[in-house]
Structure 1
Amino acid sequence: MTLPEILTHRAATQPDRRAYVFVNEDGEETAELTYAALHRRALAVAAELSRHCAPGDRALLLFPQCLDFIVAYFGCLYAGVVAVPVNPPRRGRVQEATVSIVRDCEPAAALTLSSLAALKSTVDELCGAPAWIAVDAVPAADFTPVEVGTDTLAFLQYTSGSTSKPKGVLVSHGNLLANQAMIRHGFGHDADSTVVGWAPFFHDQGLIGNVLQPLYVGATAILMSPGAFIRRPALWLATISRYRAHTSGGPNFAYDACVAQAARTGVPEGLDLSSWQVAFNGAEPIRPQTLCRFSETFAPAGFRESAFHPCYGLAEATLIVTGSRKGAGRRTLFADVDELAHGRLTPRTDGRELAGSGTALPGGTVRIVDPDTLEPRATGEVGEIWVAGDHVTQGYWKRPEATAETFPETFPGARFLRTGDLGVLAGDELYVVGRRKDLIIIRGRNHYPHDLEHTTEAAHPSVRPGSVAAFTVPGAEQEKLVVVAEIKRDDRHDADPAEVAGAIRAAVTREHDVALGALLLVRQGELPKTSSGKMMRAAARDRYLTEGFTRWPQETERTAP
């Protein structure tokens, strides 16, 4: 059954079961949807859409984090309309990525809330005048869902734009079903596996993992906003405890944020994380030190280290590609840094600690390929991660050249996805070591930006975690290594700039045997990031070369090289 058919079935067989519950920043339940209510409201939205759109037309989903988004999404699926989730404007400002998406997808309709009517003129200026539908005001109506097949396009999942402009990934109904089956198998889900999530619904982790997976297995999802998590990381853990969640997770920084808050205010009294069986970690580099600190901090609250579930995925594979085995916890190894710089994985007890991202899930294939010769690499050799399976999507919207490049038919009998990520297999475990476009090569040695960034963060406590960018720019004789590091807002008036800079330069030289060509200490919030928190290194490099950054401590002095 496709997802629309699954929802129809659940509405008929368990109409009163709570599918989704939304909690606010105080942990209070503010909205809920039973399977029957979601089905009924989605049919009404589909009926309204059918008055303005034909199957295959695109519809923007312009929502803050709320359950009406889910109603709109399934309304699109029922109507055969291609949903296009986007990051909604905040404080009256439309993000550059959102502008690009709106113009690119050529929407026939925009689904939103009555309270966001003021956005209509902005959207009209960008893409004409699509039909404007306030989902919370759509009257009840009967509708017969449009028949779809596994090859029918379900929605466009735009990439985060961390290395280029967002591209619309063509996700079919078959892709969704294949990836949902992989998640269910990897996470060990059933109808009793309550999920807690806060990732944005317009992001693949939030939509595919936290919204669609619970419906696929017939479970309940407890959802909250990303803003609530950012302001109160402990609320995430309290919600897991309160609802006895089986599964929850996020990028690596989410676990760091919880540890940091616990260091300031202590572990909340009464917190019980013993129900948490799958604590997934993905969407950015996984750091072994983060997992250790989180385990040590929250073990008294019942958290088990075996619950950690490192995973790897990307929008072009719908979501998940590899994952740990449930209950196995994390896997790490120590690698010789010099050997890794030359593309070889060689164990060394005092080397760099790498975190595994799990193994290929049933239905999927992972290969490590030389990105230049396109020949398979042997076990233990670094190369580009290639993925095949029914979860690999159809390509990019209106990007035939990019589609041909990223989804080649290089190997007989299989259509692979070139991820652009660099990795290595040790046995069947995947270790992701960097991104090909971000790879820094100095004097013939490979340096992975997130390693340099991690060293910078660890060099001094005033450096803001997750807020460092490393890249190269042209130099007189060779590429020049640049590091831009944000200083914590609370430390910017007390820390000594010379001390911070000295610690960073010494650490980078000591750990990586390379000297920094330029080091910029900047105020918090200067570095560009995607909506999911990924560092936009290309955008940081462009900004360094053009308008420059606001340096710390001279916060009014803007400089560019």
Structure 2
Amino acid sequence: MDCGSEHGAAAPQGLLLIEDCLDAEGGVELPPGTTLISLIERNIANVGDAVAYRFLDYARSEGNAVEVTWAQFGVRLRAIAARVQRFAGEGDRVAILAPQGIDYVAGFYAAIKAGTIAVPLFAPELPGHAERLQTALRDSRPAAVLTTANAKGAVESFLAGLPDLGKPQLIVIDRIPDSAGELYVPVELGIDRVSHLQYTSGATRPPVGVEITHRAVGTNLVQMILSIDLLDRNTHGVSWLPLYHDMGLSMIGFPAVYGGHSTLMSPTAFVRRPLRWIQALSTGSKQGRVVTAAPNFAYEWTAQRGLPAPGDDVDLRNVVLIIGSEPVSIDAIRTFNKAFAPYGLPRTAFKPSYGIAEATLMIATIDSSAEASVVYLDRGQLSAGHAVRVAADAPNAVAQVSCGRVARSLWAVIVDPESGSELPDGEVGEIWLQGNNVGRGYWGLPDETRLAFGATLRSRLADGSHAEGSTAGRPWLRTGDLGVYLDGEIYVTGRIADLITIAGRDHYPQDIEATVAEASPMVRRGYVTAFCVPDGREQRLVVIAERAAGTSREDPQPAIEAIGKAVSHRHGVPVSDVRFLPAGGIPRTTSGKLARRACRAQYLGGTLGAH
């Protein structure tokens, strides 16, 4: 995607231009026949010798870089797709159970090129997530499974434990010769066909597969490029995010659209040494603009453990940092900004964003020239559904980070979920969406699809409606997220499923968790979950916290008392139980977020901390 006249050198002839993707009114409208595969084929034809993907492999040596050009990538796709076609027909599902790397990227796109539906998952060795993998495989029932030679044994053993799947054909990506491509049979891919199933992270319920069409993914990539101003062809991506995660997939989607490249590494490589991420960003920043994305915890972790050594040549002047996947933490932004400002990180680098798998990914972000901003709202009023501003130092102040403006050609309304009526600005309600980037539904779940993707907006505001320009009679997507508009910008306050309701009052778990983190130095910052459990007819509050480094031998009782006192004082709720676990004790989603639902289930089942 390029805007040559505005952003330096013109695009090579034949690449997609931003104007190609807009209608006369400036709305996003993809050219006929645009699919992920047609975009890649444009790149092969026009910038075939340019690098498409680079993988920094830390398993063998420190940052051994494996690169593939668009032309080489095209050869691999054709060979893998031909092999897939031997065992899976059009519309069959093909799962990718492989480690992070270029083979994974090639397997994902090749499954789509073959005319099948790609199901990006993960190799079974990902600790603690066997149940999620089983759920996704049983749900999608793949005809074939793509893996690598290194992961083949683990995948075979895992599949052997699922006899109800039948016997999907195991295809080893890195053992397919390029010559296999001679047998590839071209497939006509319609723009409204499902390209892949995106399984949700499982933070608030069991994972479900969102049907993402070519139109949805193409539209959302264009929306991101416009919103984050990635029109310069000299913009590249750096990502350690899992490729089975919606943001991880989007980071390999950018290059497909505009012929650039992305540098990838594994999540494990990042977690073990977050400086690797910073070094990769610095390398990209020296060449042009570089964009990356991560949730709150990653920025906090990097500020703690990823600082360069004195004298390291680190340059972050051209970095764009997307932060999202949960209510954005202003503390995470401030901590990272302070740590990396000496390396040229601009105040405008952070882009707080809101996105969900059901909308392919991105819904809203702040302007490209804007700094991250925060408002302070009255805690009691917010719990009652009203956004009332207070001073930052007010005792009842809750910080809320703006996620900016909704993407072009996407409509987001704040709705009373009971009545289906749009709420005015300043009132908290469920966020509903309409636009071509919204997925088609949940795979194999017609009732859940109707409920989530088939909502009817019963009434709109007479003045200032955020549904202005939307399609009348077209259904809306219920996101399950709570939000509010203030001064034209959207703020995400939390998830309906996570709300803690005690004695008739709603409380946001992240708000209580922040209080817990401040209450005692024994709490590992960012690693707290709060939830309620039934106690007869009442609900009671439970807090689970991981211990901070160096506190494993300390008596937790003073910390437990301090937490109870702080929560009771600030939120007016008694804490019935506080548990401390060692670092890593709280279950995570596959994207690294704390999994409150799983934590609560383990607590109720008596297995929390037993693993």
TM-score under structure 2 normalisation? 0.87
Change (3 A) 1:409 1:504: closer
Q: Deviations over 1:392-450 (max 9, x none)?
A: 00000100000000012403432211110111111221111111011112222210011
Map 1:436-455; keep pairs closer than 5 Å: 436-455=496-515
Which residue of 1 is the match for residue 136 of structure 2? 101
State the percentage of identical aligned residues. Answer: 35
Which of 552, 573, 587 pairs up with 1:514?
573
Which of 92, 99, 102 pairs up with 1:57?
92
Looking at structure 2, the residues matched to 99 and 45 of structure 1 have their Cα atoms a distance apart, in angstroms, of 25
Which residue of 1 is the match for residue 274 of structure 2? 233
Which residue of 2 is the match for residue 75 of structure 1? 110
- How many residues of Structure 1 are paired with residues of Structure 2 in the alignment? 548
Looking at structure 2, the residues matched to 400 and 547 of structure 1 have their Cα atoms a distance apart, in angstroms, of 34
Which residue of 1 is the match for residue 547 of structure 2? 487
1:132 is aligned to 2:170: yes
CA contact (8 A) 1:101 1:158 kept: yes
Change (3 A) 1:545 1:125: closer
Which of 46, 59, 68 pairs up with 2:81?
46
Which residue of 2 is the match for residue 414 of structure 1? 474
Secondary structure at 1:219 match in 2: coil
Secondary structure at 2:53 match in 1: strand
Which of 527, 530, 535 pairs up with 2:586?
527
Kindly state the Cα deviation for residue 7 of structure 1 after the two structures are TM-superposed: 0.7
Looking at structure 2, the residues matched to 92 and 222 of structure 1 have their Cα atoms a distance apart, in angstroms, of 25
Secondary structure at 1:242 match in 2: helix
Looking at structure 1, the residues matched to 128 and 87 of structure 2 have their Cα atoms a distance apart, in angstroms, of 28
Looking at structure 1, the residues matched to 567 and 583 of structure 2 have their Cα atoms a distance apart, in angstroms, of 21
Looking at structure 1, the residues matched to 330 and 310 of structure 2 have their Cα atoms a distance apart, in angstroms, of 21
Secondary structure at 2:87 match in 1: coil
Q: Deviations over 1:278-326 (max 9, x none)?
A: 2110112211122112112211110112111010001000010111111
Which of 316, 334, 340 pairs up with 2:382?
340
Q: Deviations over 1:235-292 (max 9, x none)?
A: 11111001225211200111101111257x767732111121x211011221112211
Looking at structure 2, the residues matched to 212 and 293 of structure 1 have their Cα atoms a distance apart, in angstroms, of 30
CA contact (8 A) 1:124 1:130 kept: no
Amino acid in the other structure paired with 1:404: R
Q: Deviations over 1:49-84 (max 9, x none)?
A: 111111100011011111101111111121111111
Secondary structure at 2:421 match in 1: coil
Which of 434, 446, 461 pairs up with 2:494?
434
CA contact (8 A) 1:87 1:531 kept: no
Kindly state the Cα deviation for residue 541 of structure 1 after the two structures are TM-superposed: 1.5
Which residue of 2 is the match for residue 555 of structure 1? none
Looking at structure 1, the residues matched to 597 and 253 of structure 2 have their Cα atoms a distance apart, in angstroms, of 32
Looking at structure 2, the residues matched to 160 and 53 of structure 1 have their Cα atoms a distance apart, in angstroms, of 27
Which of 143, 150, 156 pairs up with 1:120?
156
Q: Deviations over 1:496-515 (max 9, x none)?
A: 31222122122212322222
1:375 is aligned to 2:421: yes
Change (3 A) 1:432 1:62: same
Which of 426, 429, 448 pairs up with 1:402?
448
CA contact (8 A) 1:267 1:298 kept: no
1:467 is aligned to 2:503: no
Which residue of 2 is the match for residue 31 of structure 1? 66
Which residue of 1 is the match for residue 53 of structure 2? 20
Which residue of 1 is the match for residue 291 of structure 2? 247
Amino acid in the other structure paired with 1:440: I
Kindly state the Cα deviation for residue 120 of structure 1 after the two structures are TM-superposed: 1.8
Bigger shift: residues 28-37 or 10-19: 28-37
1:214 is aligned to 2:263: no
Which residue of 2 is the match for residue 86 of structure 1? 121
Which residue of 2 is the match for residue 553 of structure 1? none
Amino acid in the other structure paired with 1:355: V
Looking at structure 2, the residues matched to 246 and 23 of structure 1 have their Cα atoms a distance apart, in angstroms, of 16
1:363 is aligned to 2:409: yes
Bigger shift: residues 411-420 or 362-371: 411-420
Looking at structure 2, the residues matched to 420 and 478 of structure 1 have their Cα atoms a distance apart, in angstroms, of 24
Q: Deviations over 1:95-115 (max 9, x none)?
A: 110011111111100111122
Q: Deviations over 1:526-549 (max 9, x none)?
A: 221111122222222221122243
Looking at structure 2, the residues matched to 101 and 340 of structure 1 have their Cα atoms a distance apart, in angstroms, of 36
Change (3 A) 1:267 1:477: farther
Secondary structure at 1:386 match in 2: strand
Change (3 A) 1:434 1:19: same
1:10 is aligned to 2:43: yes
Looking at structure 2, the residues matched to 465 and 150 of structure 1 have their Cα atoms a distance apart, in angstroms, of 45
Change (3 A) 1:268 1:239: farther
Amino acid in the other structure paired with 2:187: V
Amino acid in the other structure paired with 2:407: L
Secondary structure at 2:68 match in 1: strand
